[in-house]
Each structure stands twice: as C-alpha cells, then as structure tokens.
Structure 1
C-alpha cells in the first residue's frame, strides 16, 4: 500500500519560517548554557536543506527590548529555564538565504525553571518548528552533518572552544 503524503503539511513549517523571517535582516540573541560537559541545544524543522537544524536557544529581539531581556524571554519560551545572562561572547552572521540574521551570543546560567521542549509563540500550534530540546556533548553535536548544526561549531574542536569564541565570526 502506497502512503500519500500531503506536501503542504510537510512544507508548512518551512513556509511559516520564510513568511515570518525570510528576506529581511533580523537581530537574534542566543544563549550558551553549559551543564558539565554538555551544551543545551534546540532542534528546529523548516530550516536548512534537510529540515533539521540544531542550535543553541535564542530568537529575535523585539523593538524596544534590551538584548539580555530578549534572551531571558526566549530561554523561557523555548526551554522552560530561567536564566541569568552573562557576558556577550561573540557575534555570528547567519546567512542561509532567504534567512539572514545578526546573532549576539551570550553565556547564560540557569537560575530556575524546568527544562522542557517549549514553543515559538509567533507560530501556530500546527506550525511549531521546535522539535526537541536537549543537553548534548560536543561529540554528539559534531556527529551531525555541518548543514544540520549551527556554523559556530565549525570554529571549535571542543566545548571549551565554544566559550572561547570572540569577535565577529565570518559567514
């Protein structure tokens, strides 16, 4: 028996991502949360050539919202964690046309909350792109093909290297 897949259902997250974030420059804030030898990562669908994209938690700052406040909000929405925002470490320019974002990466520490898979409030319940929230070792992260993980990992050979990144990362 052949299963018929409704392509509009498969493309829905990608279309939602393009509608909300495509063809414009966004300012994103991202947090690096470390628990021992693991880094908190979020798996998204609708981004990249394979529809699987792992990156540290974060999202868009809203007009009039300070970057640390945006990151606190994003962590709560995506992961359920309350965080203290530490120093800004580096800037990454994310370019996967039609997506383009300037990303400010901060070190964060958890202060409360319970880790769980959250949601993206800009998206409807059927268009959610957050698929998983997970603490991952550096080896686990590097097992994924480069197009399925954030580009920052191409500059690193260890989890310690991630926290030593500084300046502007070239796209």
Structure 2
C-alpha cells in the first residue's frame, strides 16, 4: 500500500534575493541537494514542521511566511506518494550548522537557477522562487463532526 508523506521546504533567500540556502544530503547512493526541510511529523502543522526542520538541518531559527507552491510526486522504489509544500521563510537567528552531520554533508548559498537544477525541478520553479508570488494557506485547527 502506497504511503503518503507531507514534506515541507523552507525557501530562505539571501539579502540580495538572488541566492537560496540549500543542504546537501548524504544519500544511500550519492549526495543530493534540497532546500532545508523534511517530513511533517504526527501532530505538527506544516509551518511547525518547517521551523523544526530548518533548525535541525541549518542551525537557523526561522519565521515561516506564506506558502509559495505545492507539488507532488510518486517514489515507486519506496512506495511513497509525497506532497511538497514550499514556504517563504526568513532567518531570525541561530548559527549555521546541523545537528545531523551524518546526514547533511554541506549547507550553502546557491543561485536560484542552480537550486532548480540541483533539485531536478522544472524551469517554472525558477520563476516561482524568484517572484515569491504566494498562494493561500489556512490552518483550520481541529474539526469534529
């Protein structure tokens, strides 16, 4: 049975807004770049997960802003269906470093074009990350019927 996972990403731009912070993950076969982020844990909202993941992977305390984009993909090799949520985020403190040195090989600022290429995303992501146009995100709390 295919498992569904929710994945959050932090889009952290530098001061001139032409570079994005990325982490280089150590994979089973090769290392690969992603934006700081990861799997939403049980009981977490999407922004809570983004804050936790940014701290764990980069050492930075972030404020999570608006939702930039939602996408999805299937990973048949692990029987997963993943939803990806990209959030505008801003560094508010902390110190660069990771609590997972056995999982994160490198943390670096890269151009937005390189970030799109490293993550193997379609070219339209370059415009999404550059323009920072947002879409609504609403947390509805607990609903009981």
Structure 2: give runs of 5+ residues left out of the alignment. Answer: 137-145
Is 2:109 aligned against 1:135? Answer: yes
1:33 paired residue number: 12
Contact kept, 8 Å, 2:65 with 2:88, in 1: the verdict is yes
Matched-pair contact (CA < 8 Å) for 2:66–2:134: no
User: Structure 2 residue aligned with 1:152, among 94, 108, 121?
Assistant: 121
Q: Which residue of structure 2 lines up, in the alignment, with residue 78 of structure 1?
A: 57
What is the CA RMSD across the aligned residues, in angstroms? 2.5
Report deviation, 1:109. 0.5
Structure with greater Cα Rg: 1
**What TM-score, normalized by structure 1, do the two folds share?**
0.65
Structure with a larger share of its residues in strand: 2
After TM superposition, give the deviation of residue 139 of structure 1 in Å.
Answer: 4.6
Structure 1 unaligned spans of 5+: 1-22, 120-124
TM-score, length-scaled by structure 2: 0.75
How far is 1:31 from its partner? 0.7
Partner of 2:81: 100
Give aligned pairs, total. 130
Taking the aligned partners of 1:140 and 1:51, their CA distance within structure 2 comes to 18
Q: Distance in 2 between matches of 1:46 and 1:164?
A: 32
Instruction: Give the Å deviation of 1:95.
Output: 2.9
Shift of the alpha carbon at 1:101? 1.4
Match of residue 140 from structure 2: none
Aligned mates of 2:21, 2:99 — CA distance in 1: 13
